Chains A and B, each alone.
Chain A
Amino acid sequence: MAEKQASRGAEQAGISTRTMDIVVAVLIFALGAIVVFDSYRLGSKWGSDGPQSGYFPFYVGLLICISSLVTVVQALRTTSGEGGLFVAWGPLRLVLTVLIPAAVYVLGVQYVGLYIASAIYILIFMVVLGKYSWLRSIAVGVLVNVGFFLMFEVWFKVPLFKGDLDPLRFLGY
């Protein structure tokens, strides 16, 4: 039995659910502690005019801490093989190939604005992950964003973020 599990572990290595459970619960506990701390600072008791600002969040934070503590204890009591994998390395790489470009994209939005960053993001995604030709990718990326531009700026009159550098200034929108 142990041998079988070991061999399966070898072909499907990754982060175990147990580890992830503990890490996430500890993070949640930390958040809860921050909430408790700040509520205490604001006053979590009964003021002269009723409950103080921290009254309600204090207990919210306390419950976060207690519930995540229980989750940690529960996870620690299971044996490491029990919960299975949270994610294997292969799929994790796929997830990161979406997540990291998405983060770079948001950074791009910050500087060159939604339209240009989106066009570049779509075309690079298509070329690299979809193995499309450059021509087709550029066409899709640009057309989609021209569509968005018409829809938001022209028809609905909802201006979108043009970026700190604002390269589309010349369009007058």
Chain B
Amino acid sequence: MVELSALFHGFAVVLTPFNLLLMMIGIVLGVIIGVLPGLGGANGIAILLPLTFTMPPTSAIIMLSCIYWGALFGGAITSILFNIPGEPWSVATTFDGYPMAQQGHAGEALTAAFTSSFVGAFVAVVMITFLAPLVAQFALQFGPPEFFSVYLLTFCSFIGMGKGSPFKTLAAMMLGFALAAVGMDMVTGQLRLIFGFTDLMRGFDFLIAVIGLFGIGEILLSMEEGLSFTGKSAKINPKIVLETWKKLPRYWLTSLRSCLIGCWMGITPGGATPASFMSYGVAKRMSRDGEKFGTGQIEGVIAPETAAHAAGTSALLPMLTLGIPGSPTAAVLLGGLLIWGLQPGPLLFVEQKDFVWGLIASMYLGNLAGLVIVLTCVPLFAAILRVPFSITAPVIVVICAIGAYTVHNAMLDIWFMLLFGVVGYVFKKLDYPLAPLVLALVLGDRAEDSFRQSMLISQGEVSVFFSNWLVGGITALSLVMLFWPLLSKLLARVRST
């Protein structure tokens, strides 16, 4: 039980008044970010990241990860009360959450959503507590070829598991890699892809891309729909909460299933959004009231919310242990680690014990605090959404511009943000996935480094990626993932004959 003592040490790190205050601020900011259209977990954290440059890394990550939890909670409020998913992963929550609100059970739906979110996150954190040290230990043996094969697996799973056209996924991902390559080549010192523009020497910062793609892009999308918010009011009081809590244990099997789906989808880079849909689908198929789903079943709220939170939380496991984020938001947090001077990866568990266990301890506390805050402050947060869009839209654009500027104190970045906003809008409408683009932009340099080092070791022989059972296994798995759409078709054909 080394993990438990380490965890208690982590609690000792977290439980200072300053850190607890940051935690509360983080949760409240996160919920607000989750409620507002155009601001979400990924770009909200990207915008606030520059403010944490001067903080100690542990305090900074506590605040930023709490913003993430808050955003996860916040998405449910808009889905249930307004039928507008504040975050992509809460789309599935609208299916049954909004009908419940229409029937006057908004309080019940919200309580169920928040509680299941908490359960999902809690299970995921417990898993991280015990699994992460093992994974990190294991990954300590990794050399450059192993790391590259893990990167390969991450990116191949995007192509194989993606819903849309695999070629669009590939194009988006490779654009991310190309953008990451812009600027100085760290190995040879040569300038790449800048075509004489010295301003491009710094390269494209992924934070700017995230703020533009998700922030400005989202505003443009919302504008097109001509948003007018007409929401249901929520009455939520201790009596409703307690009554709902009494009902919830009945659905333990749905919760458990959703937790498992969520954890799995979070560790593999599926992410919270597909996890919530998958969990909703599975719950619908397995439930006795399956055919009633979509008319306001409490189970239809529990399933997606549990899975989304479990996935969102467990996306931090590969980020901490391998340095590979499982979601765009985890990617932004990873970017934060690099900026604070920490090297993500297995060594983090050896060299930065305070940081890692402080973060894990803050996940327990942050989610608990989050549950209390959202349960007590729902009307307040719903009121924010009633502020007309013609006020919030320009303010959000301004916030995005400020966020983009503060990353490098560069005016040019604001222009790039706008450009990325247009790209985000067009890509979203044409089903180009944004997550692989962002992940490729973040991981591009590191993937290239590990590739180059592997090539140096083997003197240019690609066979290095099959040189032992470990790296060979991961590479083979990547190839299976890459060609999964073809393989599954082939399998189906073999079975039918």
Q: Contacts A53-B188, A94-B224, A126-B390 known; A102 to B418 CB distance under 8 Å? A: yes
Q: Please give the distance in Å from B363's CB to the nearest CB on chain A.
A: 26
In the bound assembly, the distance between CA atoms of A24 and B223 in angstroms comes to 21
In the bound assembly, the distance between CA atoms of A161 and B414 in angstroms comes to 11
Q: Please give the distance in Å from A166's CB to the nearest CB on chain B.
A: 13
Chain A 125-152 interface 0/1 with B at a Cβ cutoff of 8 Å (1 = within): 1100111100000001000110010001
Q: Please give the distance in Å from A10's CB to the nearest CB on chain B.
A: 21
In the bound assembly, the distance between CA atoms of A56 and B433 in angstroms comes to 23
Which of B129-137, B284-292, B348-356, B448-456 lies at the interface?
Answer: B448-456
Q: Please give the distance in Å from B11's CB to the nearest CB on chain A.
A: 28
Which of B28-36, B331-339, B403-411 lies at the interface?
Answer: B403-411
Chain A 75-98 interface 0/1 with B at a Cβ cutoff of 8 Å (1 = within): 000000000001100011011011
Contact residues in B for A156 (Cβ distance below 8 Å): 51
The verdict on B195 contacting chain A, using a C-beta distance below 8 Å, is yes
Contact B220 A99 (CB under 8 A): yes
Contact A38 B430 (CB under 8 A): no
In the bound assembly, the distance between CA atoms of A118 and B403 in angstroms comes to 13
The verdict on B175 contacting chain A, using a C-beta distance below 8 Å, is yes
Contact A57 B192 (CB under 8 A): yes
Contact A55 B174 (CB under 8 A): no
Contact A50 B455 (CB under 8 A): yes
Chain B 221-243 interface 0/1 with A at a Cβ cutoff of 8 Å (1 = within): 00111100000000000000000
Which of B56-64, B96-104, B116-124, B165-173 lies at the interface?
Answer: B165-173
Contact residues in B for A131 (Cβ distance below 8 Å): 390
Residue in B175, B177, B224 whose beta carbon sits within 8 Å of that of A87 in the complex: B224
Q: Contacts A39-B192, A99-B220, A118-B398 known; A158 to B50 CB distance under 8 Å? A: yes
Q: Name which residue of chain A comes closest to B425, CB basis.
A: A95
In the bound assembly, the distance between CA atoms of A97 and B220 in angstroms comes to 10
Contact residues in B for A122 (Cβ distance below 8 Å): 391, 394-395, 398
Contact B193 A98 (CB under 8 A): no
The verdict on B480 contacting chain A, using a C-beta distance below 8 Å, is no
In the bound assembly, the distance between CA atoms of A126 and B177 in angstroms comes to 39
Contact B178 A158 (CB under 8 A): no
Q: Name which residue of chain B comes closest to A45, CB basis.
A: B460
Residue in B170, B426, B429, B432 whose beta carbon sits within 8 Å of that of A63 in the complex: B170
Which residues of chain B in 284-309 are interfacial with respect to chain A, using CB atoms and an 8 Å cutoff?
Answer: none
Q: Please give the distance in Å from A53's CB to the nearest CB on chain B.
A: 4
In the bound assembly, the distance between CA atoms of A161 and B168 in angstroms comes to 37
Contact A94 B398 (CB under 8 A): no
Contact residues in A for B448 (Cβ distance below 8 Å): 56
Contact residues in B for A130 (Cβ distance below 8 Å): 388, 390-391
Contact B393 A98 (CB under 8 A): yes
Contact B192 A53 (CB under 8 A): yes
In the bound assembly, the distance between CA atoms of A102 and B398 in angstroms comes to 9
Q: Contacts A57-B178, A91-B224 known; A132 to B390 CB distance under 8 Å? A: yes
Q: Please give the distance in Å from B336's CB to the nearest CB on chain A.
A: 16
Contact residues in A for B429 (Cβ distance below 8 Å): 17, 20, 86-87
Contact B397 A102 (CB under 8 A): yes
Contact B192 A20 (CB under 8 A): no
Q: Contacts A34-B193, A94-B224, A94-B226 known; A152 to B402 CB distance under 8 Å? A: yes
Q: Please give the distance in Å from A27's CB to the nearest CB on chain B.
A: 9
The verdict on A42 contacting chain B, using a C-beta distance below 8 Å, is yes
Residue in B175, B195, B216, B406 whose beta carbon sits within 8 Å of that of A102 in the complex: B216
Which residues of chain A in 13-33 are interfacial with respect to chain B, using CB atoms and an 8 Å cutoff?
Answer: 17, 20-21, 24-25, 28, 31-32
Contact A57 B409 (CB under 8 A): no
Q: Please give the distance in Å from A39's CB to the nearest CB on chain B.
A: 7
Chain B 153-186 interface 0/1 with A at a Cβ cutoff of 8 Å (1 = within): 0000000000001011011001101100100010
In the bound assembly, the distance between CA atoms of A99 and B418 in angstroms comes to 9
Q: Name which residue of chain B comes closest to A130, CB basis.
A: B390
In the bound assembly, the distance between CA atoms of A67 and B455 in angstroms comes to 25
Contact residues in B for A42 (Cβ distance below 8 Å): 190, 192
In the bound assembly, the distance between CA atoms of A52 and B456 in angstroms comes to 11
In the bound assembly, the distance between CA atoms of A126 and B406 in angstroms comes to 26
Contact residues in B for A121 (Cβ distance below 8 Å): 394, 397-398
Q: Contacts A91-B226, A152-B402 known; A21 to B430 CB distance under 8 Å? A: yes
Residue in B178, B226, B402 whose beta carbon sits within 8 Å of that of A31 in the complex: B178
Residue in B168, B187, B223, B393 whose beta carbon sits within 8 Å of that of A67 in the complex: B168
In the bound assembly, the distance between CA atoms of A101 and B113 in angstroms comes to 38
Q: Name which residue of chain A comes closest to B225, CB basis.
A: A91
Contact residues in B for A46 (Cβ distance below 8 Å): 460
A-B contact list, 18 entries, CB within 8 Å: A17-B430, A20-B430, A31-B175, A38-B192, A50-B452, A50-B456, A53-B187, A53-B190, A60-B181, A64-B174, A64-B178, A68-B171, A71-B168, A86-B430, A95-B224, A121-B397, A158-B51, A161-B405
List residues of chain B with CB under 8 Å of any chain A CB. 50-51, 165, 167-168, 170-171, 174-175, 177-178, 181, 185, 187-188, 190, 192-193, 195, 216, 219-220, 223-226, 388, 390-391, 393-395, 397-398, 401-402, 405-406, 409, 411, 414-415, 418, 421-422, 425-427, 429-430, 432, 448, 451-452, 455-456, 460
List residues of chain A with CB under 8 Å of any chain B CB. 17, 20-21, 24-25, 28, 31-32, 34-35, 38-39, 42, 46, 50-57, 60-61, 63-64, 67-68, 70-71, 74, 86-87, 91-92, 94-95, 97-99, 102-103, 105-106, 109-110, 114, 118, 121-122, 125-126, 129-132, 140, 144-145, 148, 152, 156, 158-161
Pairs A-B, 8 closest by C-beta atoms: A130-B390, A125-B394, A91-B224, A67-B170, A67-B171, A118-B398, A53-B190, A67-B167
14 additional A-B residue pairs with CB within 8 Å, beyond A35-B178, A74-B165, A161-B414? A53-B187, A61-B174, A61-B178, A64-B171, A67-B174, A68-B167, A71-B168, A102-B397, A114-B402, A118-B401, A118-B402, A125-B390, A152-B402, A160-B405
